[in-house]
Structure formats: structure tokens, C-alpha cells
Chain A
Amino acid sequence: MKEMSVKVFRFDPETDEKPHFQTYLVRVNDGARVLNVLHCIKEEHDPSLSYRYCCSSGQCGSCAVKVNGEPVLACMEEATDGMVIEPLDLPIKRDLVVDMEPYLDQIATLVPAEECPLPSQDVVEQIKPLRSCIECLACVSVCPALKVIDFSGPTAMRESLRLALDPRDTGDRVVEAVEEGLFTCTSCQACWKVCPKDIQIPGKAIEKLRALANEKGLTLPRHQSVEKLVRETGRSVDRTQETFLEQVPEVLEPYGEVRGTVGFFVGCMYNNRLPQTALDAMEVLRRNGIRVIIPREQICCGSPLIRTGQIGYINTLKRRNIDAFVFRNIDTVMTMCAGCGSTLKNDYDCPFRVLDINEVLTKFGIEPPARLELKATYHDPCHLMRGQGIKTQPRELISQVVDLVEMPAICCGSGGGVRSGVPEAAAALAEDRRIEIEKTGADIVISSCPFCEYHIMEHTDKPVKNITTVLLEGYREKDRREKEKEC
């Protein structure tokens, strides 16, 4: 047995004006789950506590709650001392019980044909991972798009794809999915990361549905023009100034001793729209002993096309990009765009290692910059934090140069083709982001993704800077101070 203190969200709309937290001291068995703690509270401390549960073995999806802010199944998650238990971010009925039915009712159901041919083994294998959903609604509770715009949500999309694949179904699921907001998903992957069944909804459902929509000619016109641009120019955005690749030689030698060599995959945004940011990054790398090789013939990674279901040209892009690095015998390719990095790591089958610039810099370690008298907040790019699991490294770098104030990690709205395809959704999400930024009282916003930086810049009056730019400012300040000392 062990003792633990837990904080539980309490709210009875019939008697309470507003919710409050109650702390309980409970004794539970070793290995007890969150659900066992709730049982203990109800049985021994407060019989009025309301929560939902049923199978107690992770199979029915009744008991999802937030523990320390993260959605989990109460029956499967091990209880820890000091944990905070709250309901999912869905309409609350009482205490930890949320209203699930309106969402469950939105999930499409199979309408069988007269003749019902069994799906083939191949189709069954495609459908099976989608069917393991237990409809706990953890995904729905974290979906940022669903909160700001008409969107049936991740699990409804998952089932729509299943129905679209099933030969027994007679509905026009792809058309329905488009109507239900297929193009409003930013591919932020929050749904996947909280799924107790690890269903990769953005990659395995949304993008597949978008590809089916593409076959039916339902791709949004703005997404089609991006595809056209990629085919014509090799880039997903047009140039507005001298590009990064035009400004750098193929090899950038470091200032001092060579501590490592990486190939650099710049990506369309940093090449065509934000070249100065990439140049700043190069300076930081050179200062820290890293030689950078920059193949000229690299082109768009294909992410904007994969996310929007336009996969016809992808294999060409992949081959050309891989060849560009393989021909130079590069064993480590560095990305600084979160979207490119996530694509190279997850959608490519690369014969080389891919590292994000935050990984490279923390792996080699950096020369300490001067501290800048600034309070900064950090926006986690979805494709960096969830797509690549990179969360601590940016913070490790940032906190060497400025004071960091945290804010909740939520999508800014720029990903998944939403910024170009459904701008009102992207703007609504950015507004949520702006509000969180305001709350921190920070002087600047730091991020590590060109899409996020570009998008947030348009929606906040605070300066938005890339991590490497801030590091470079730290180095320049350091140099200035040293010069001052010399004088």
C-alpha cells in the first residue's frame, strides 16, 4: 500500500456556481491506476464524486480524464502522488463526467449495400488499425480545429476513411468528409499523441481521405495551385527576394576547428521567404564548429502536397532530394523547418540520418551566448514537438540566452494546408495563440518553424524570432560587450 495526495476537479452544476479543486489523501495498492484512486475517494472519502468507467481494462473508452493536463484512460494510467485529475475538455456534466453523446452521434455509420462483398484481406488490413478506436474522445478533446470551426473531428474522420475503404458501404464518404471539414485539420497530431490506441489519425486517416478527395477532384483550388507551383518551380512558395541558396556557397566552413559536418536541407519557406533566418542559423553553426554542405539541387520536400493529399508527384521529389545528399556522401542531414524535418523523418525512407537543428546544436553543445535582457515565450511547432518528439532541446538553447516563460503548447493554425486552404480557420487558431502569448507578458515569441513564425507574426504585435536568430543576437551582444571591455 502507498499513500498519495491527489487534486480532483469538482463541479455540480445543480449546486455549484463554479468548479473547484478538492485535495484527497488516499491509500492505494502498489501499481494502482488513476481509476483505483477515484474508486478509493468515492468509497472511503466522498461518495458524491462522479466519474465514468466500465471495463477497467482499456477497451470501452468510458473513463478518459485529464491527468496533469494530459488526456489518459483512468483505468490504464498509473496513479502518481500529487497528480491533478480533471475532466476532458468537453462539455462537463458533473465532476469528471463529460457529455460524450453529441460527439458520438456525429460519427458516420455504415449503410450496407444489398449485395455485401467481404473486404479483401488487403482492405481488412488497411481498415483494422482504424477500427481499434474505443471512442474515448481524448482526440476530440484536444483537437484545436474543432474548437474554432465546423469540423466533425478526428475520430469521425477516422471512421469516414474506414467507410470509404469498405466495399460494403454505400455512402459517399469522401464528399461528406469534405463537407464536415476535412481540410480544416492542421495535422498538428495532438489527436494521435493522446490516442490510447495510438491511431495515427492525421497521417493514416486525414491525409488518406484527402488523397481520395484528390482523386475525385475535390482538392481545394489553393492547394492545387501549390501543387502546380511545386511541379513548375520545385518550390511550394514563390520567391519574393534573393533566395537562401543563391546567397550561400555549397560548403560553409566553420570559423574555428571543425567539430562536425552536416548536410543542410533548407526547405521552401526559409529558402524563398525567410532567407535571412536561415543565414542567421548558418552563422550560429559556423561559430560552433559545424561545417555545412548545401546541395544546390535540393527542392521542396513534398510536405505541403502530402498533407493535402496530392501524392502524384511525391516520389519524384523524394528521389531528387535523397539523391542530392547521397551523391555527396552525406551521412547526417540537418533540417531547420519543422515540417521538412518531420516529413524527411516520417514520410521518407532516408538512407541517411536526419536531425533537426535543435538536435544538432544541443548534441554538439554551443558556446554560451550573452544573456539578453528579454523575457521570451516559446511556441512549440507541432511538427517539431509531436512530429519529431523535440521538446526539451529548444528550451535548453533558449534558456541560455533569454528568460523563458512557458505557455500551453497549442497549434498556431498554419499547418496542414489550412493557412492557404481555410484561412479563416487558421486565423481563428492564431487568435487563440495570440491570447496565450499575451498572458505570458513576454517581450518576444521564439519558435523553430518557418510556417509558425510567419503565421504568428501576422497575428501578434510581439516580435517573432527563430531560435537561431536569438542565439545569434546573443553572440553579437557578447562580441559587443567584449569589444567594450577592450576599449
Chain B
Amino acid sequence: MRSFEVIDSHVLVIGSGGAGVRAAIEASNYGDAVMVSKTIAGKGGCTTMAEGGYNAVLRETDSCEDHFLDTLKGGAYLNDRELARILVDEAPERIADLLCWGAVFDVTGECQVAQRPFGGQRFPRTCYAGDRTGHEMMMTLLDRLASTDVDVFNEVAIIDLLKDGDTVAGAVGLDERGDMVIFRSDATVLATGGGTKIYDISTNSSSGTGDGFALGYRAGAELIDMEQVQFHPTGAVYPYDARGRLVTEAVRGEGGLLKNTKGERFMEHYDPERMELSTRDVVARSIATEILEGRGTKNGGVYLDVTHLPRHQVETRLPVMLEQFLKFGVDIRDEPMEVAPTAHHVMGGLRISSRGETSVPGLYACGEVTGGVHGANRLGGNALADTQVFGKRAGESAGKAKKRNISLDEGQIDLQEKRLEAFYAGEVNPATVARSLQTAMWEGAGIFRTGSDLEKTLEIIKHLSTLKLKAANRCNLIDCCTVQNMLTTASLVVRGAILRKESRGAHVRKDVTQAWDVSNSPYRHTFLSLCDEGIETGVWE
């Protein structure tokens, strides 16, 4: 056996996005905490890329009840009611934390946090820092983290969770040199974010490979609603390599108009009341339909136009968009953007209690890796709020977990070493497998789905999972583990999609005709674990 480092702590947080850092900050109030980041903390994850905003009820003319109802309606009534309630109730307190720690949100002349309208909400309740809201939050959270005793391990990838009997007791990681690091902890928080990198077209950063879904699943945790993958309506389409890059909903929030090549504001055919600010599932399907029916551009998109807005508004409220498009030769002050749907957010994930506990003892989770909060479609602005509300809750619960005497199971470490050794003897470039998977998922488990396509996609994933991934050197070991996680995550999405024989929120089954509207659906969560899978039934009150 190779020698390896063992790091002991009370709480281990895996992931360094908004949820992970918030959890680590909170956990550090209760004992020593370690945060492991696959990247340099603050640079990875999707929080730092989040542009549009953070939903919180801050005005007397708004109410948490309205935010709750908007969230449920937006989520096609698949949301876990208790989690959704907590989200809306605590979002204001958590943004207050950020403001206290130095976050620089836009403010009004009256020195109140400014808010703008976002899709599917009856009140303009999306707080923002220009169009770099998530980046502002991450910078603030890292400042706060620096004032704690949290030990940060940068550029270490967790490849599996360790268990002591039925209880999660830490994790096995690989550092940037490919050396093994063992983390031993009383409580472990998964805050690894989402996984839409399993799709060919995705907004996610390189860390959106679904690692947490796979780690949790392999450790025996139950996942719910994994079929619910949000396709953001507006991703870039050109140039080819930039396809999928997020074009923030704030563009529409600020007044951007969607038009097809005939110049029609086509949303009037799909949702005349809410138009461009309908929910993301509706807008994404509308755009996809326009393109499928031949009213898209030659690059395969529709137009998103802000040229009618004052130039100053575009420059100050959407500076990142302006800069990004300029880099690709489009001045959005003078010409429309071209956009098309892009895989953005996984609404499903580990089932958690209100305290962030998963179904496995010792394992907690928060942020995008969890399921239930957003139901079948997430409202823009609710994810950043989710990271803070449930990051704090999971960090606190983990911090309060009992201290235990953990024995290190050498057998589990041996297994991981064998897994890694096998990669050296592998045959297939992991990048090739990832490409095949992404194409298959986009074609077979995308915006519009059928049972037979899903079955075919599952077969492809099964086949790809049998290939022996090859590591050319120690640094490639992480690539191999990541592709295995992508395969597991993809299979969870497809299995969930096969189980849900209805169209609901982001999940559309073209082969199913249903007699109910979503608020009266006879189905609840789909669930998947190592030992069981199915769909819960019963109409919610």
C-alpha cells in the first residue's frame, strides 16, 4: 500500500461553491472543519458564474407567502413543501449575512438592496450585483471563510466517501499530483453542485460533472427527481466551442426581447401573459420549438434583443454580457444576441431533511446536489438563495453532529487503490467517453423525451460504463474518476426520466398523454438508491 496523508476533522465539507463555503463557515462555529475544493476555492463551481441574482423578500409590499407560491408554481408543485418554505423564509436572513460580511449588491437611492424582476415571480424580488451576483457572493464568502479556522485543501478531488459501518466517516481524495489524501470526519457535507456537464450543451463550469450525486449514490444515499434537469432558455450558440455559455435571465429581466427570424415576439404564442419572463421550462421549450419548426437562425438559435434599451443600462446592468459578446464580435448594444437552450441546473439530487441530513448517517448535503427545494423547475434567483439557506443549515447540523471514534477501514482504501491501478491498465481515453456520453444525453434525454429514446440512452450509458478508462499518468487519474461520476449521474437522470411517466416542469415526455394538470398530478418524487427505485404517488394537499 502506498503511504498517504490522513486529515482528521470534525466536519468535512466537499465542494467550494456558495453552498460549500457557507456550510464550512457555519460548521467552524462548532469545531474544526476542513473544506476540500476540486479547484482553487472560489474559482470552481457554478456560484461564481451565477449572473442574475438572489431572490429574497425584502419589501413590505412583497411577502414570503408570495415567494413560496411562486416557487411552487414555478416548480410544477413537485417541490418539497417544507424545504421550499424554509428557502423563502430564510433567504432574507442569509442575504443579510452576506451584506454584513461585505457583499456589494446594487442599492437604490434610499440605500436599500435593489431588486429586479425575474421569470415566474409576481414581484421584482431578485437582488443583484450587476450581472456578476454569484461572483460577488463568492468573494464575500471567501473573505468570511478567511476569518475562520477552516482548513482549505485546494485542487484535491474527492473520489469516494469512506464509511464506518453504515455511517459516512470521511472521504478519499486525490491531490493535483495524483497522490491519495484520506479525510476522516465525524460529519461530512456534500456541496459539490450540479452535473449538467453530462450534456453536450451546458452552462456549467468544469466542476459540473455530477460528482456529488455519484459519491452519494455509491455511499447508499437516496436521490429524488433526478430526471428534473433545467434547460436554461438562453445559452450562446456561436462560436461552436462557446455553445451553451450562459446568457443570464437578467437580460430578459432588464427588458430583453425574444424574437424569431420572422421578427415575431414568439412568446405571445406560448405564454402571452408572462411573455419573456415566463418560467425557464416554458421559455426553453418555446425557443426549442421555434428552432425545430424552422424559425431559428442559421446558427441554430433565436434572437435575444436589448438594442432598444438605453446603452447605459446595458453597460451598467449587464457588463459581463456586454464584455463576453464583444469578445466574440457582437456588440449587444447594436445587434441582437443569438441564443438557444442549454443544460443548466439539476433540480433533483440527494434527498435531505430540513436540517440537511441525507438518508445516510453522517452525510449531509446542501445546494444543487440536493433535490426537493426547486421541484420540477427552479426559478431564476432561487439557486443562489438555496446555497446560503441550506449551506448554513447543513453546516450547522454537521457541526452539531456527535464526535465519534472512527476506525479507518483499510479495505475501502485498498479498493480505491485497485480502482486507480486499473486505470493505468485501461484502454479508452476518458475524454472520448465523456464526449459520447454528452452527445447521447443531449439527443436522448434532452428537452423533449420519449420512453424509447430514454431506454436507448440508458443502453448507451451502460455500454460506456463497461469501457476501461485509461490514465496516461497520475494526473489523469482524476479525469477517469470524473468520467465515472458523469456516467453514474447520467444513468440516474435517465432512470428517473423513465420512472416519471408524465410531463412536469422541465421533464417533458412526448410519448405520454396525461389527463391532469401538474397541480393535480398523482405522482410525487421519483427516488433512486443502490437498493431501490420508484415513483411516489399521491396528490399533495
Contacts and interface: CB of A to CB of B under 8 A. Distances in A.
Interface stretch (A125-133, A204-212, A229-237): A125-133
A116 interface: yes
Contact of B104 (A50, A101, A128, A197): A128
Nearest to B203: A57
Contacts of B143: 109-110
A132 B132 contact: yes
Interface stretch (A3-11, A31-39, A303-311, A329-337): A31-39
Contacts of A101: 40, 154
A60 B48 CA distance: 7
Interface stretch (A41-49, A240-248, A338-346, A375-383): A41-49
A271 to B, nearest CB: 41
Interface in B123-143: 129-130, 132, 135-136, 139-140, 142-143
Contacts of A283: none
A118 B328 CA distance: 37
B241 A59 contact: no
Nearest to B46: A55
A59 B135 contact: yes
A316 interface: no
A2 B378 CA distance: 39
Contacts of B40: 52, 62, 100-101, 104
A30 B240 contact: yes
A169 B102 contact: yes
A112 interface: yes
Interface stretch (B222-230, B316-324, B402-410, B501-509): B316-324
Nearest to A30: B239
Given A29-B239, A43-B429, A57 B207 contact: no
B241 A36 contact: yes
B154 A121 contact: no
A76 interface: yes
B96 to A, nearest CB: 9
A168 interface: yes
A169 to B, nearest CB: 7
A56 interface: yes
Interface in B373-389: none
B101 A54 contact: no
Nearest to B101: A112
A47 B431 CA distance: 9
Nearest to A50: B475
A58 B245 CA distance: 10
B107 interface: yes
Contacts of B99: 116, 118
Interface in A277-297: none
A131 B104 CA distance: 8
B461 to A, nearest CB: 20
Contacts of A124: 104-107
Contact of A48 (B109, B136, B475): B475
Contact of B101 (A97, A110, A162): A110
Given A47-B429, A54-B206, A121-B109, A33 B473 contact: no
B160 to A, nearest CB: 22
B39 interface: yes
Interface in A58-95: 58-62, 76, 93
Q: How large is the interface on A (under 10, 10 to 19, 20 to 34, 35 or more residues)?
A: 35 or more
Contacts of A39: 431
Nearest to A46: B472
Contact of B102 (A31, A61, A112): A112
B53 to A, nearest CB: 15
A110 B431 CA distance: 41
Contacts of A31: 238-242, 328
B147 interface: yes
Contact of A43 (B48, B100, B132, B431): B431
Interface string B243-266: 001100000000000000000000
B28 to A, nearest CB: 15
A53 interface: yes
Interface in B482-525: none
A52 B40 CA distance: 10
Nearest to B471: A47
B241 A131 contact: no
Contact of A29 (B106, B146, B205, B240): B240
A57 B49 contact: yes
A69 to B, nearest CB: 20
Contacts, number: 140
A365 B43 CA distance: 51
Given A112-B100, A112-B102, A56 B327 contact: no
A55 B429 contact: no
Nearest to B142: A109
A124 B114 CA distance: 12
A441 to B, nearest CB: 40
Contact of A131 (B101, B139, B207, B240): B139
B3 interface: no
B480 to A, nearest CB: 10
A162 to B, nearest CB: 8
A120 B111 contact: yes
A368 interface: no
Nearest to A134: B135
Nearest to A163: B102
A227 interface: no
B140 to A, nearest CB: 8
B412 interface: no
A131 B473 CA distance: 39
B466 interface: no
Contact of B205 (A55, A110, A118, A132): A55
B452 interface: no
A60 B327 contact: no
Contacts of A47: 429, 431, 471-473, 476, 479
B102 A42 contact: no
Interface in B17-67: 39-40, 42-44, 48-49
Contacts of A43: 429, 431-432
A355 to B, nearest CB: 28
A33 B242 contact: yes
Interface of B: 39-40, 42-44, 48-49, 99-102, 104-109, 111, 113, 129-130, 132, 135-136, 139-140, 142-144, 146-147, 154, 176, 205-207, 238-242, 245-246, 319-320, 323-324, 327-328, 429, 431-432, 471-473, 475-476, 479
26 contacts: A31-B241, A32-B239, A33-B241, A47-B431, A47-B476, A54-B206, A56-B205, A57-B49, A58-B323, A59-B49, A62-B40, A97-B176, A109-B142, A109-B143, A109-B146, A110-B143, A112-B100, A116-B99, A118-B107, A119-B107, A120-B107, A121-B107, A124-B106, A128-B106, A169-B102, A197-B323
Given A62-B40, A110-B102, 15 more contacts: A31-B238, A39-B431, A42-B431, A43-B431, A47-B472, A48-B473, A48-B476, A52-B40, A59-B48, A59-B132, A109-B142, A110-B143, A124-B107, A132-B319, A166-B104
7 cross-chain pairs, A with B, having the tightest CB-CB distances, nearest first: A31-B239, A110-B102, A43-B431, A109-B143, A47-B472, A29-B240, A60-B43
Interface of A: 28-33, 36, 39, 42-43, 47-48, 50, 52-62, 76, 93, 97, 100-101, 104, 109-112, 116, 118-121, 124, 127-128, 131-132, 134-135, 162, 166, 168-169, 197
